Structure 1
Amino acid sequence: MIDGQPAEAAPSPSRSVLQHEWQAFWLAVGFLTRIPMLARIDYSQKLMNQCSMYFPVVGLLLGALYAGLFALLSLAWSPLVCVLLVLCFHLFITGAFHEDGLADSVDALGGGYTVEKRLEIMKDSRIGTYGTVALVMALGLKAALLLDMETIWLALLVAPAISRVTPLLLMAFMPYVTDPDKSKSKPVAETFSRQRLLTSCACTALISLVFSIWLPGLWLSALTAVLMVALLWGWYLQRQLGGYTGDALGASVVFCELVLLMFL
């Protein structure tokens, strides 16, 4: 007792860990989407960094929304109309987060001749010719690849989860090279834990193996796409920038999703 009052029992370590991870999950949801966070967040840079482990899980949540919406729309419209409407919903629910990164990255790498100039262009909110062309081609190719799939809903379900492993690999093995005081991605990118990377990769591998029952070859396509994009895009970023930026991480998600759909 304290001053005549019964002392409150301290939360158990296991409960504290679960509460911490629950907050990390919802912080990842809030970071990657416009979905309202259904948990009180004790925000910190450490929690922001740790939430990145849940990027593939958030991707699976988004995939479930896309697949469900496609199934519902298919009751009334053709596959082409349904895919385009799902892409519109995707751009809305994510705030075109990764597509913005793609446009900024391509603008910077296409129009800058020094590292300093590339980083300056990447921070500019305006979109240029390179970025516009990249966006149009990426969205058009994504729609075409989905329409070529026999099970469109399944591709919509798994691709967002698998593609969000790629930025985790880049964060784990490359340096961060933008102005830390002006970057919204700094808390996520700093000191990314290899242990949490392994956990996230294991979870994504399990997703790939489970859904390989309905989509043969998914696990091999997923492994190839993730490693190919991480290695090639990472190598190119290392040469052009000396590391990665938040925009480059977003671009890696778009690239990985396209490569995965091409293999499937």
Structure 2
Amino acid sequence: MKPIIHREWQALWLAIGFLTRIPMLVRIDYSPQLMNQCSVYFPLVGLILGTIYAALYIALMHFWSPLVCLVLVTGFHLWITGAFHEDGLADSLDALGGGYSVEARLRIMKDSRIGTYGTVALVVALGLKVALLAEAQPVWLALLLAPMVARLAPLLIMGHLSYVTDPDKSKSKPVADDFSNTRLALAAAFTLMATLLLTGFQGGILLWSTVATLGTALAWGLYLRQQLGGYTGDTLGASVVFAELVLLLGLASL
């Protein structure tokens, strides 16, 4: 039992290190298998991030207006995650907007330069995110929930599509290899229970959480299958941004 607990503890910290700039406080016995196992903890890492964002927002509210606080929290988010998912959004939109074949799209996606499609997508996504957070009530709850709920969407895509990029040049390939539906079910169950507990079993928020995860995974996944024949690490990052925006649209409407 102890080795299993130790390995899961390492998988959690590996997920934290993979998705954020938070220093890993434990020694990791890295392996592709452990990298694959860590994916189940992506929603938990999102909850940790959401807790930090909500606490930071509440603290900043003592000094500045809500809008200024949200911009500062968004800037902190970009720093602590290394703009990991936003980079995936920009690369994905550049590739899908500018490529006329699967090969061209994959080639553009690997280009480190950002183009018009990626730039516009980032500006719109970040601006819309701040605007929707400003409309959500309470703001701290939206900041808490969105990172957790959104990080289930890429796991759903991984569970139902094939990986299509060069495995030798991919950072996320070990995560995708032989992705376990059992771990997907565990991540989904955790996200569901955490959402229910944090919101006091509010049906409207649960509905929008479901739309954000299943809806984003279905719509984005079908589009990726048509355009690429599967997914890449960048498109998984884009799915997190899309899922957050869908959830925030719902919370703002509530």
Question: So what's the TM-score if we normalise by structure 1?
Answer: 0.94
Q: Deviations over 1:17-41 (max 9, x none)?
A: 0000000000000000000001110
Q: Which portions of structure 1, spanning 4 or more consecutive aligned residues, are displaced by more than 3 angstroms? A: none
Aligned partner (choices 79, 84, 92) of residue 71 of structure 2: 84
Write the letter of the residue equivalent to 1:157: L
SS at match of 1:141: helix
For the aligned residue pairs, the C-alpha RMSD in angstroms reads 0.9
Q: Deviations over 1:24-70 (max 9, x none)?
A: 00000000000000111000000001100000000000000000000
- Counting matched residue pairs gives 251
Distance 2:212 2:87 in 1: 21
Counterpart residue number, 1:35: 22
Counterpart residue number, 2:165: 178
Residue 211 of structure 1 contacts residue 218 of structure 1 at CA under 8 Å; is this kept in 2?
no
Alignment of 1:1-264 (within 5 A): 14-213=1-200, 217-264=204-251
Write the letter of the residue equivalent to 1:23: Q
Residue 102 of structure 1 contacts residue 135 of structure 1 at CA under 8 Å; is this kept in 2?
yes
Structure 1 or 2, whichever has the larger Rg, is: 1
Q: Which runs of 5+ in 2 are unaligned?
A: none
Residue 56 of structure 1 contacts residue 162 of structure 1 at CA under 8 Å; is this kept in 2?
yes
- If each structure's helix is expressed as a fraction of its own residues, which one has the higher value? 2
Q: How far off is 1:212 after superposition?
A: 2.3
Q: Which runs of 5+ in 1 are unaligned?
A: 1-13
Question: So what's the TM-score if we normalise by structure 2?
Answer: 0.97
Q: How far off is 1:248 after superposition?
A: 0.2
Distance 1:26 1:148 in 2: 34
Write the letter of the residue equivalent to 2:208: S
Residue 196 of structure 2 contacts residue 202 of structure 2 at CA under 8 Å; is this kept in 1?
no
